[in-house]
Amino acid sequence: MEACHDRSILIMNDFLDSLGALDGTRAIDIAGGDGRVIKHLLRKRYSAVDCFDMCMESVKILEELRKNLECIEDVDQADMKSFEWQHQYSGIFLRWCIGYLTDEQLVDFLQLASAHLIPSRHRHRQTRSSRP
């Protein structure tokens, strides 16, 4: 796999490291595009990764990527506005993809996403212990 030169992914990686052991079994990459978030960030952290994108070109790229990356499970063509959640996730990642949603659609999406996020005991512990 080629080296990652995407600065924002490197920053996300450092940020996740700084949070401690947040890795989990299954994650989803929302609007996966060309799959760079999976390639350079998620495959190291999750044993299973689902992804979708509304654009068929991206879906084809993600399907190609799945042939080489064992962690990729479901690849779907779907829109964030109507995505049907099938699983609970340890991590839900979305980057550079909310621009086509209205504020209301974004709130609806985030509420659905949070209902499918497995709470992290580690994160809760950190939040409590970081209170003054």
Contact residues for ligand SAM, defined by CB under 6 A: 31-33, 36-37, 53-55, 58, 79-81, 95-97, 100-101
Q: Say how many CA atoms lie within 13 Å of 9 toward its Cβ.
A: 14
Cα 56 from Cα 27, distance rounded (Å)? 21
- Least distance in Å: CB of 86 to ligand SAM? 16
Q: C-beta of 128: minimal distance to ligand SAM in Å? A: 32
Q: Select 32 or 91, whichever has its Cβ closest to ligand SAM.
A: 32
Q: Are 24 and 90 in contact (CB under 8 A)?
A: yes
With a CB cutoff of 8 Å and minimum separation 6, the contacts of 84 are 78
For the bound state, the minimum distance from the C-beta of residue 73 to ligand SAM, rounded and expressed in Å, comes to: 17
| Distance of closest approach, residue 122 Cβ to ligand SAM, in angstroms | 25
Residue 35 contacts residue 51 (beta carbons within 8 Å): yes
Q: Using CA atoms, how far apart are residues 64 and 33, in angstroms rounded to an integer?
A: 12
DSSP 8-state symbol, 34: T
Please say which residue, 85 or 125, places its beta carbon nearer to ligand SAM.
85
Q: Pick the closer one to ligand SAM by CB: 75 or 80.
A: 80
